[in-house]
Amino acid sequence: MLRQKFSQFLTSNEIPHSMAIAWAVVDEQLVVKRLSEAFYQSVRKPISQILNHKLQQSYSNIAEIDITLPKSGAQTYHWVNDRGVGVQGVFTPYESKSGLWCLNVSELALDDRWLMDLHPDYEHAIQSSDEWLQQIEAVITSSPSDVFKVAVNQALVLTDSKVGYLHLYDERSDEMTLTAWSDSALKMCDIPQMTHAPLDEAGIWADSIRTQEAVIHNDYATEHHKKGLPDGHFQLNSHMSVPIRYRNHIVGVIGVGNRVKPYTAVDAKSLTIFASIMWHCVELPKSMRVLTKQSEVIRSQREKLSHTLVQLIGAVSDAVELKDAYTAGHQKSVAQIAYLIGERLGLDTDRLEGLKLGALIHDIGKLAIPSQILTKPARLTAEEYALVKMHPQQGADVVSEVEFPWPIKEMILQHHERLDGSGYPAGLTDDEILLEAKIIGVADVADSVLSHRPYRASLGMSKLVEILNSGKGTLFDSHIVEVCIELLSSHQVDNITRVAHLSLAPVTTVELDHSLFEARELMTAAGVKVAAVLSETRRSIVGVVDLHLLDLWHSPLLDTAAERTIDRNIENRRVHQVMHHEFPTIAPSVIVKDAVDLLDKHDSDYLLVIEGDEVMGCITWKILANAHVQFDDLAMPH
């Protein structure tokens, strides 16, 4: 019965070979006498280094002095193999032969508790995350030239190693760039003179790039597949390296070595995380600089596009007014009033820009209306007025294919809509009407009432107040009406006219090294009296010259035979030698009244109109005088 019972169990000969049980037979000196193929595969060393050699030859980190072979039963021990993998070994006496023990080994998961006990500093590192972050902070705060060296030295602190390095890798050329060594490594050996090395010629420090994973050599001296180290290199007993990854590409390798304790996969994981964070710290400033540069380019392009758009819309506005001579300046005046109303209502700068542009072409649909109707010096018939009422829809159709960053189409389409639905073309009511369209609608009425028409004179401010108040809350937004009346009652019309709306005198540009003769020739060819002087690098305005200044340096004896040679030297002077370094400037958004005060304050003949680094033109006393005459007439009470 007993024999039958035990016959149910497998004998050693019956165990399937595919189970790959790793076992070895050792004597009392822990010399390996026999071994299984699975044991050989696990150790990963030549059979000549395993068989008839002490167990420590297979596992360099095993502490033989701590192993007591059992007389009976089984005894379990743990250690780390030369690849950093945890191993459990069970020693059992060989029953049929005295003085021999069977060793069964198996690899363990790194989360097992015994590994933390083996490395008590592991738990400490997890708990002391502030110290770990200090190592990252040291990398972040280091100068760009020292960042990699600092990173290597911090890696030594993290892994409790003696030496370390960090080298960069280029996937395209498959080449290593020798970059940084720890201070301790520099003291122990002479760094090779070479700065680059192909991957296939690189030593042990490139193993992790070749395998694309962390590599551990806890017994480097016995590694049969190792690549040689350069002459003069320090002795390497143990080594661990991990690839540095960034955006799914290997960009480098960081390695450490010669730790007293064996390296484990826990150390490899910790070093990998450190390397990843470190590289992001290195790349972040680069990315931010690139992003900032791209943002500057985008902003510059947007400003240029916006300026071009403004010029284009201004040209379209002028085209409308050329067709309708009696309403010349109407759209610009509406834009001025609408802009000021929008400012008082608290609209942001971008929205105000859109409001101004929408108001500048709110009557673009009039291009489709016959000129004889627009210029008719009498009241329109019902049929003619019905045709005029089509201009909002026709204007919206004109710009329907243009992608504006503002709701320009809606402003054009809705500026004749009224709160109670009595407007046109769609009969929209209160909340259905765009705020900008409501503002333009009120500004449109205000300028129409105050302006002269072929069939009547200006109706004056009192009539405007009466009209707006009568439609307050029913036709027009109450708040917009109140703001409009307050603005027009407290300001002269010229006070709400902006510099940008005036016909500016043209200005050209000259270089610092232009001679006075060349500057005069350029200004004469351009038909201007003022020229801005641009810097060589940033192309910003650094000075100004005008014909009056050039005349001061022009000698009346220039063409006489006696003085010709001397006086020619005067004309050969450079612009930077005579230019005005200080000159009055003004922004295009400033109101005309302030421009008058500024010109008077500087006792100058002109103001340079500048937006950003671009010269838009200049204002003279003559231009301001014409502006005053025009708007004084417009505001004349009737």
Of 382, 365, 307, which is closest to residue 331 (Cα–Cα)?
365
Of 342, 161, 166, which is closest to residue 251 (Cα–Cα)?
166
* Each residue's pLDDT tens digit, 311-340: 666 666 666 656 665 554 678 788 889 999
Higher confidence at residue 327 or residue 345?
345
Amino acid at 40: Y
Of 362, 360, 342, 337, which is closest to residue 352 (Cα–Cα)?
342
Of 366, 430, 436, which is closest to residue 408 (Cα–Cα)?
436
Q: How many CA atoms lie within 13 A of 284 on its CB side?
A: 10
Letter string b/e over residues 111-145, b meaning 16 or more CB atoms within 10 A of that residue's CB: eeeebeebbeebeebeeeeeebeebbebbbebeee
Residue with tokens 């320009």: 408
Per-residue confidence (pLDDT) for residue 571, from 0 to 100: 62
**Mean pLDDT calculated for residue range 403-431:** 92
Least confident of 63-77, 483-497, 616-630: 483-497
Higher confidence at residue 455 or residue 584?
584
Residue with tokens 């004179």: 457
Chain mean position to CA 11: 70
Q: What are the start-end ranges of the E strands in 348-457?
A: none
Question: CB-based contacts of 623: which residues, under 8 Å, 6+ apart?
Answer: 502, 503, 504, 505
Interstrand relation of 100-108 and 22-27 (parallel, antiparallel or unpaired): antiparallel
Return the top range by mean pLDDT from 152-166, 189-203, 253-267, 429-443. 429-443
Chain mean position to CA 571: 49
Q: What is the DSSP letter of 428?
A: -
Tokens of 438: 């409501």
Higher confidence at residue 475 or residue 329?
475
Could you give the angle at the alpha carbon of 56 between the alpha carbons of 53 and 62, nearest 5°?
A: 160
Is it the case that residue 584 has pLDDT exceeding 80?
Answer: yes
Higher confidence at residue 460 or residue 413?
413
Q: Which CATH class name applies to 2-108?
A: alpha beta
Higher confidence at residue 622 or residue 491?
622
Amino acid at 203: G
Cis peptide preceding 285, ω within 30 of 0: no
CATH topology for the 324-490 domain: Hypothetical protein af1432 (1.10.3210)
Cβ atoms of 201 and 178 closer than 8 Å: no
Helix (H) or strand (E) holding 545: strand 541-546
| CA–CA gap between residue 359 and residue 135 (Å, rounded) | 59
Higher confidence at residue 307 or residue 241?
241
DSSP string computed for 242-291: EEEEETTEEEEEEEEE--SSPP-HHHHHHHHHHHHHHHHHHHHHHHHHHH
Is it the case that residue 518 has pLDDT exceeding 50?
Answer: yes
Q: What is the DSSP letter of 235?
A: P
Least confident of 8-12, 368-372, 493-497: 493-497
Do 2-108 and 120-288 have matching folds?
Answer: yes
Per-residue confidence (pLDDT) for residue 432, from 0 to 100: 94
Tokens of 278: 């470190």
* Each residue's pLDDT tens digit, 198-243: 777 777 778 888 888 888 888 777 665 555 555 556 677 888 889 9
Helix (H) or strand (E) holding 621: helix 621-634
Q: What is the DSSP letter of 79?
A: E
Cβ atoms of 77 and 55 closer than 8 Å: no
Is it the case that residue 1 has pLDDT exceeding 50?
Answer: no
**Mean pLDDT calculated for residue range 41-67:** 85
| CA–CA gap between residue 417 and residue 429 (Å, rounded) | 7
Per-residue confidence (pLDDT) for residue 347, from 0 to 100: 92
Average pLDDT over all residues of the chain: 78
Tokens of 105: 């080994």
Higher confidence at residue 278 or residue 422?
422
Q: What percent of the chain has pLDDT over 70?
A: 72
> CA-CA distances (angstroms) from residue 387 to 55, 186, 397?
105, 90, 16
**Mean pLDDT calculated for residue range 534-546:** 84
For 460, left (φ over 0), alpha (ψ -120 to 50), or beta? left
> CA-CA distances (angstroms) from residue 286 to 138, 269, 272?
18, 26, 22
**Mean pLDDT calculated for residue range 54-66:** 84
Residue with tokens 């989360």: 111
Phi, psi of 98 (to 5 degrees): -75, 155
Is it the case that residue 464 has pLDDT exceeding 60?
Answer: yes
Could you give the angle at the alpha carbon of 516 between the alpha carbons of 512 and 521, nearest 5°?
A: 105
Per-residue confidence (pLDDT) for residue 125, from 0 to 100: 44
According to the CATH classification, is domain 120-288 in 3.30.200.20?
no
Could you state, in order of their start, the residue ranges of all structural domains in the chain?
A: 2-108, 120-288, 324-490, 508-634
Is it the case that residue 44 has pLDDT exceeding 60?
Answer: yes
pTM over 0.75, yes/no? no
Per-residue confidence (pLDDT) for residue 78, from 0 to 100: 84
| CA–CA gap between residue 85 and residue 334 (Å, rounded) | 81
Amino acid at 66: D
What is the pLDDT confidence band of residue 483, given thresholds at 50, 70 and 90? very high
**Mean pLDDT calculated for residue range 420-430:** 93
The SS3 of residue 631 is: helix
Higher confidence at residue 568 or residue 552?
552
Is it the case that residue 627 has pLDDT exceeding 50?
Answer: yes
What is the pLDDT confidence band of residue 123, given thresholds at 50, 70 and 90? very low
Per-residue confidence (pLDDT) for residue 487, from 0 to 100: 86
Per-residue confidence (pLDDT) for residue 636, from 0 to 100: 33
**Mean pLDDT calculated for residue range 180-207:** 72
Cβ atoms of 157 and 182 closer than 8 Å: no
Return the top range by mean pLDDT from 43-47, 118-122, 430-434. 430-434
Least confident of 13-22, 329-338, 600-609: 13-22
Least confident of 443-447, 554-558, 623-627: 554-558
According to the CATH classification, is domain 508-634 in 3.10.580.10?
yes
Is it the case that residue 628 has pLDDT exceeding 60?
Answer: no
Q: What are the start-end ranges of the E strands in 472-511?
A: 508-511
* Each residue's pLDDT tens digit, 360-395: 888 888 887 887 777 676 778 888 888 889 999 988
**Mean pLDDT calculated for residue range 485-499:** 65
Least confident of 1-10, 56-65, 505-514, 547-556: 1-10
Could you give the angle at the alpha carbon of 236 between the alpha carbons of 233 and 242, nearest 5°?
A: 100
Tokens of 598: 């500024």
- Helix axes of 592-602 and 621-634: crossing angle, nearest 10 degrees: 150
